[in-house]
Amino acid sequence: MPPAIAAAETRQVKKSFASGEAAVQAVRGVTVSIHSGELTAIVGPSGCGKSSLLSMLGAIDTPTSGQVLIGGIDVATLSDYERTLLRRRQIGFVFQAFNLMPTLSALENAALPLELDGVSQREAHERARVGLEQVGLGKRVDHLPSQMSGGEQQRVAVARALVTNPTILLADEPTGNLDTTGGEQVMKLLRELVGEHGQTVVMVTHDNEIAAAADRVLRMRDGLIASDYRPSAIAAVPAPMSVVPAAKSAIGQTGSKPAPQTPKKKTTKRRK
Ligand SMILES: Nc1ncnc2c1ncn2[C@@H]1O[C@H](COP(=O)(O)OP(=O)(O)O)[C@@H](O)[C@H]1O
Ligand SMILES: [Mg+2]
């Protein structure tokens, strides 16, 4: 069987920004394949290059050197127009700040990418309605962003990112502006999209708890991927205590809490 084509892939990708005299190296040589049908989380401290890497995976930004392939296509071989079409049709992007148009209804917001791509308003609205139903907002189609909670607004943004049926959905700290409930709703939705619809999702987050719900975690540090692991594999590690510190350090929680100790004696009987 031929190897499956990665949804997106980088090869020795670097990104630097001119900053006065010195250049800032945001990404310093990352080679990674994003597998189709998975929820991949990119985590790491502020400034480590997460957003820069995500933008290159979405052909929103061009690398200083190295290659980016989306659906097996080397982005650098495309003309500007082809790249615009690729972004419009293959990539869905969700931002921390929702970026909805305040004067447009949920339906009009969600339909926008299709209308920009020349789809008739009627068809665009029909597909946007289906998208809003998929994110659980079938009853909010006529609401303006200001009439919705943060979690609802972000779900409209997810619907907008999905109407074109993109190969890959990229989300940069999608829960960063939300309260706990809103964040949980959005995470649940992203998990459902992956689990039930096979959507490929790459999400930047600095929340370890949210990252733990991903299929795969790429932990970045200083412009590089410092570790690449599957939280479920770590959770499934059998009990020996000697393994626990390693697993904890892999998920970046070293020293946050002492590992639970197995009681030597039988604990006192619990009161009812
Ligand atoms: N447009 C830009 N111009 C100059 N420096 C930038 C730009 N975008 C990002 N950087 C710098 O690149 C580094 C990585 O940024 P970023 O990818 O946004 O990190 P993260 O998303 O992990 O916080 C930071 O030092 C940041 O200041
Ligand atoms: Mg960022």
What pLDDT score was predicted for residue 35?
A: 96
Nearest CA to ligand 1 atom 7: 17
Integer CA distances (angstroms), 214 to 108, 145, 194, in order: 31, 28, 10
Residue type, 205: T
Contacts of 150 (CB under 8 A, 6+ apart): 98, 177, 178, 179, 182
Domain 8-234 falls in which CATH fold? Rossmann fold (3.40.50)
Token output for 3:
């190897």
Nearest CA to ligand 1 atom 6: 17
What pLDDT score was predicted for residue 124?
A: 98
**In 109-213, beta strands by DSSP E:** 168-172, 200-204
Q: Which ligand is nearest to the CA of 42?
A: 1
Q: Which ligand is nearest to the CA of 46?
A: 1
Task: Render each residue's pLDDT in the chain as its tens digit; 272 residues.
Answer: 556 789 999 999 999 998 888 899 999 999 999 999 999 999 999 999 999 999 999 999 999 999 999 999 999 999 999 999 999 999 999 999 999 999 999 999 999 999 999 999 999 999 999 999 999 999 999 999 999 999 999 999 999 999 999 999 999 999 999 999 999 999 999 999 999 999 999 999 988 888 999 999 999 999 999 999 999 887 776 666 555 555 445 545 444 444 444 444 444 444 44
Please name which of 252, 247, 262, 208 lies closest in space to residue 226, comparing C-alpha atoms: 252
Q: Ligand 1: which of 10, 25, 52 to mutate, judged by most atoms within 8 Å of the beta carbon?
A: 52
The per-residue DSSP string of 91-124 comes to: EEEE-TT----TTS-HHHHHHHHHHHTT--HHHH
CA atoms within 13 Å, Cβ hemisphere of 146: 4
What pLDDT score was predicted for residue 269?
A: 46
The reply to whether ligand 1 has any atom less than 6 angstroms from the CB of 49 is yes
What pLDDT score was predicted for residue 13?
A: 98
Contacts of 157 (CB under 8 A, 6+ apart): 94, 95, 98, 99, 100, 109, 174
Query: How big is the chain by its Cα radius of gyration, in Å?
Result: 21
What pLDDT score was predicted for residue 256?
A: 44
Q: Which ligand is nearest to the CA of 26?
A: 1
**204 CB-contact burial (10 Å; exposed 0-12 / middle 13-18 / buried 19+):** buried
| Ligand 1 geometric centre to CA of 110 (Å) | 29
Residue type, 18: A
| Ligand 1 geometric centre to CA of 22 (Å) | 14
Domain ranges of the chain: 8-234
| Ligand 1 geometric centre to CA of 73 (Å) | 26
What pLDDT score was predicted for residue 3?
A: 61
The reply to whether ligand 1 has any atom less than 6 angstroms from the CB of 185 is no
Ligand 1 atom nearest the C-alpha of 223 is 14
Nearest CA to ligand 1 atom 12: 26
| Whole-structure pTM value | 0.85
User: What phi and psi, each to the nearest 5 degrees, are found at residue 148?
Assistant: -125, 155
